[in-house]
Structure 1
Amino acid sequence: MRTRRLGLVTTLALACGLLVGVPLGARPAAAAADCLSEARSGLSQCDDTVPPETALTGVSVQPNAAGWVATGTVSFAFAGQHGDADADAVGFECRLDGPVQAHDWSSCTSPRTYQGLADSDVARYVFSVRAVDLADQAITYSFLMPDEPGEDYDATPATLTWGQDTVAPVGFVNPDLYDRQTPQQPVVIARSVPIRLHSNEAGATFECEVDGQGTPCTPGAWRYADAPSGRHFFRARSVDKAGTASAWSATSEFFIPSDLRGRQGWSVVKKSAAFDQTLVTSKREGARLVLPKQRVGELRLYAPTAPSYGRVRVKVGATNWRVVDLAGARSAQREFVVLDRYQGSRTGKIIIEVLSRNKPVFLDAIVARTNVFQA
């Protein structure tokens, strides 16, 4: 709201007149009705107490949602205007606070650019600009009654606060996988794949891709859940608070087995320790599991063992049978390498047949993949 000090001005003017010998009969001239600009000429005085208003009209780089930028150079555009009919020229004063040494208010023009600003993990920069009534600022209204703060300049400057991080982070991506048979292309006997994600910058997030498709992930001991059966490729990168990303990690490969459910003549048994928490079982000699025709360069069978269990035989297409004996020390799950990747490829249906009579066999999962080696 506009405020004008007129009555008190007249009183002070009379007092000043007594001090300097102005005749008591003399009266100061009346002040302008709206007092849009300060004036002090003899006894005709006016104090404009309404400052101009300030607005930021542009910034060269907008802080992201977290309030950070990835550059050390920032430019600001701003404007000012009177909210009344005041026609005095409007100037500006700027200030920058933050990791650098604080600057006091100083005259500036739009745009105002700051270059070579230093990064900081803690302190934030604050740019402030205020419009100034240049004509009023040049006048001291009265030595007995000086201008109050904010009369000649905007007491509520336009401001912008931001954090700065211009250095790309470093991401550490470690799939927590081990496979003695194929260390570079490990088989994971689970739908959940453990991967550790860490960054050298606190507060950094991660972007992850599986088979070229983005998938949500979190820093720390993360797991890629509900992985489908088959061959997969994983990579990730770290993204800091300012949105700067690290280089993508090296691509890691892994393979998920297939469940053996849904075959005629075999019963399904729930087992929490098994892949997909189920086993298929039969004790009928000659019972078969037949998988669709495919090209196979490596074949592994996963099954529990116990002294009372029987045997199965396995072949691909027209190749020879391979016998797998499930009788042995009790184990919740054991890996049987039927064909390793160095024995060449063959094409055909995969057949698993029970050899034993009246001895149960339990089967968990199977890996059938081509013998493709990493470059």
Structure 2
Amino acid sequence: MRTRRLGVTTALALTAGLLVGLPLSATAAADCLSEPPAGLLQPSCDDTVPPDTALGGVSTAPNAAGWVATSTMAFAFTGAHIDADAGALSFECRLDGPAMAHDWTACTSPRTYEGLVDSDAAYTFSVRAVDTADRAYAYGGFGNVEQVEDIDSSPATFSWGQDTLAPVSFVNPDLYDEETPQQPVVVGRSVGIRLNSNEAGVGFVCEVDGVGTPCTPGAWRYEGAESGRHYFRARSIDKAGTPSVWSETTEFFVPADLIARRGFSRVKKSGAFDETLVKSKTKGARLVLPKQRVGELRLYAPTAPAYGKVRVKVGATNWHVVNLAGPRSAQKEFVVFNRYQGSRTGKVIIEVLTRNKPVFLDAIVARTNVFQG
């Protein structure tokens, strides 16, 4: 609790006591709510209870991280005596920060700052109430009592960070396809994408096929991609919540796993698409996929010198032979026909051509020849 300090010089106290004839302490106590004392012959009095200050509002509230995306900030504030003093109040404001900083200056509510610059350093606004009438009176007693300042010794403060510029995003998918560079095939359920920005501390918002998906800056992977055609885009969000423009859309295609049917068996194989292969040694054994329109057909399979052959067709079109005999490899891509060779409609049929020679098949791409728009 704040207290008032009474300063009385010995000579003046004696004179005042003789002339006024009142108890010295009663006169001093009454005068301590305001300076100077009511009469010239009354003892000097220092009001030691300064006013209190409160912020009433801010024009733009920072986000949860303490940042704003505006270069203009305005503050409303109020002040009040905490004792029975009824004297007038004024205010002093101060701004600390990377630009337009100033020491205490007289101000009124609301106080507005415009044209503030972006910076990693924080701004801090402070305001304090001043007992105007008391501060104008310089306490001039002859005693050893030091005058107490007539201002709020604990100013109201408000701090924030500022970032008004939208970030720039750099989205680099880890995709390569010599056959169709703009619509690459990803032989797997995981797609690597690198997300970066020109600003530090940004987050990212990502979409796959128009649906938001959690993502993180730096080297990131989209997991669990379903078979078929997909579209990816991303944008960064800076500390103040300002988003970048969306990146260009990246398209990619994921093959379908081949499922064992009559004449084929399922084989688990680490590193294969979906970790499985289908195997057969039976000439004439077939895998049949549903009727569809196909403008490009690729087959993925391991190769080895002792492996056999299969043939592939769509609907009533001609057969295309795929020879799996060759240098040993865990997986090889066979382009049965490319997207520049026209479209076919019908069931996709894969048939074993050789007897007693194993064939292993992994995955298939059967897609239309619709080019990226």
Give TM-score scaled by structure 2 length: 0.91
C-alpha distance 228-46 of structure 1, shift in aligned 2 (>3 A): same
C-alpha distance 24-4 of structure 1, shift in aligned 2 (>3 A): closer
- The yes-or-no answer on 1:36 pairing with 2:26 is no
Alpha-carbon distance in structure 2 between the residues aligned to 1:206 and 1:192: 19
Q: Tell me, yes or no, if the aligned pair for 2:35 and 2:46 is still in contact at 8 Å.
A: yes
Instruction: Tell me the residue number matched to 1:217.
Output: 215
Alpha-carbon distance in structure 2 between the residues aligned to 1:293 and 1:287: 19
Aligned-partner residue type, residue 98 of structure 1: G
1:179 to partner: Cα distance: 0.4
Q: Tell me, yes or no, if the aligned pair for 2:57 and 2:75 is still in contact at 8 Å.
A: yes
Aligned-partner residue type, residue 78 of structure 1: F
Answer with 266-275 or 179-188: which moved more.
266-275
Aligned-partner residue type, residue 299 of structure 1: L
**Equivalent runs, 1:170-189 vs 2, <5 Å:** 170-189=168-187
1:46 to partner: Cα distance: 3.4
Instruction: Tell me the residue number matched to 1:67.
Output: 66
1:266 to partner: Cα distance: 2.6
Instruction: Tell me the residue number matched to 2:9.
Output: 13
C-alpha distance 342-357 of structure 1, shift in aligned 2 (>3 A): same
SS of residue in 1 equivalent to 2:29: coil
- The yes-or-no answer on 1:278 pairing with 2:266 is no
Alpha-carbon distance in structure 2 between the residues aligned to 1:353 and 1:23: 123
Q: Tell me, yes or no, if the aligned pair for 2:12 and 2:43 is still in contact at 8 Å.
A: no
Instruction: Tell me the residue number matched to 2:251.
Output: 253
1:184 to partner: Cα distance: 0.4
SS of residue in 1 equivalent to 2:9: helix
Instruction: Tell me the residue number matched to 1:147.
Output: 147
Q: List per-residue Cα deviations over 1:141-195 (Å, max 9, x = no partner).
A: 345534324xx22221111111222222211111121101100000011111111
**Equivalent runs, 1:242-321 vs 2, <5 Å:** 242-261=240-259, 263-321=261-319
C-alpha distance 34-264 of structure 1, shift in aligned 2 (>3 A): farther
Instruction: Tell me the residue number matched to 1:136.
Output: 134
Answer with 65-74 or 187-196: which moved more.
65-74
Alpha-carbon distance in structure 2 between the residues aligned to 1:352 and 1:361: 11
Answer with 126-135 or 184-193: which moved more.
126-135
Alpha-carbon distance in structure 2 between the residues aligned to 1:179 and 1:97: 55
Q: What is the total number of aligned residue pairs between the two structures?
A: 365
Alpha-carbon distance in structure 2 between the residues aligned to 1:95 and 1:15: 43
1:262 to partner: Cα distance: 5.3
Aligned-partner residue type, residue 51 of structure 1: P
**Equivalent runs, 1:164-203 vs 2, <5 Å:** 164-203=162-201
Q: Tell me, yes or no, if the aligned pair for 1:140 and 1:146 is still in contact at 8 Å.
A: no
Aligned-partner residue type, residue 288 of structure 2: V
Q: Tell me, yes or no, if the aligned pair for 2:13 and 2:43 is still in contact at 8 Å.
A: no
Alpha-carbon distance in structure 2 between the residues aligned to 1:16 and 1:348: 116
SS of residue in 2 equivalent to 1:32: helix
SS of residue in 1 equivalent to 2:274: helix
The percentage of aligned residue pairs carrying the same residue is 72
1:135 to partner: Cα distance: 2.2
1:268 to partner: Cα distance: 1.9
Aligned-partner residue type, residue 4 of structure 2: R
* C-alpha RMSD of the superposition: 2.1
1:296 to partner: Cα distance: 1.0
Aligned-partner residue type, residue 337 of structure 2: L
Alpha-carbon distance in structure 1 between the residues aligned to 2:263 and 2:112: 78
Alpha-carbon distance in structure 2 between the residues aligned to 1:327 and 1:23: 122
Answer with 105-114 or 64-73: which moved more.
64-73
Answer with 241-250 or 36-45: which moved more.
36-45
Q: Tell me, yes or no, if the aligned pair for 1:206 and 1:237 is still in contact at 8 Å.
A: yes
Q: List per-residue Cα deviations over 1:233-287 (Å, max 9, x = no partner).
A: 1111222222222221111111011111354443222222211121111212222
Alpha-carbon distance in structure 1 between the residues aligned to 2:359 and 2:30: 105
Alpha-carbon distance in structure 2 between the residues aligned to 1:128 and 1:339: 73
Alpha-carbon distance in structure 2 between the residues aligned to 1:82 and 1:366: 81
Q: List per-residue Cα deviations over 1:323-359 (Å, max 9, x = no partner).
A: 1111111000000111211121122111111111111
SS of residue in 2 equivalent to 1:286: coil
Instruction: Tell me the residue number matched to 1:104.
Output: 103
1:139 to partner: Cα distance: 2.2
1:95 to partner: Cα distance: 0.3
Q: Tell me, yes or no, if the aligned pair for 2:264 and 2:279 is still in contact at 8 Å.
A: yes
Residue ranges of structure 2 left out of the alignment (5+ in a row)? none
Alpha-carbon distance in structure 2 between the residues aligned to 1:129 and 1:344: 76
Q: Tell me, yes or no, if the aligned pair for 1:13 and 1:43 is still in contact at 8 Å.
A: no
Alpha-carbon distance in structure 1 between the residues aligned to 2:291 and 2:86: 89
Aligned-partner residue type, residue 67 of structure 2: W
SS of residue in 2 equivalent to 1:39: coil
SS of residue in 2 equivalent to 1:332: strand
SS of residue in 2 equivalent to 1:136: helix
Alpha-carbon distance in structure 2 between the residues aligned to 1:95 and 1:320: 84
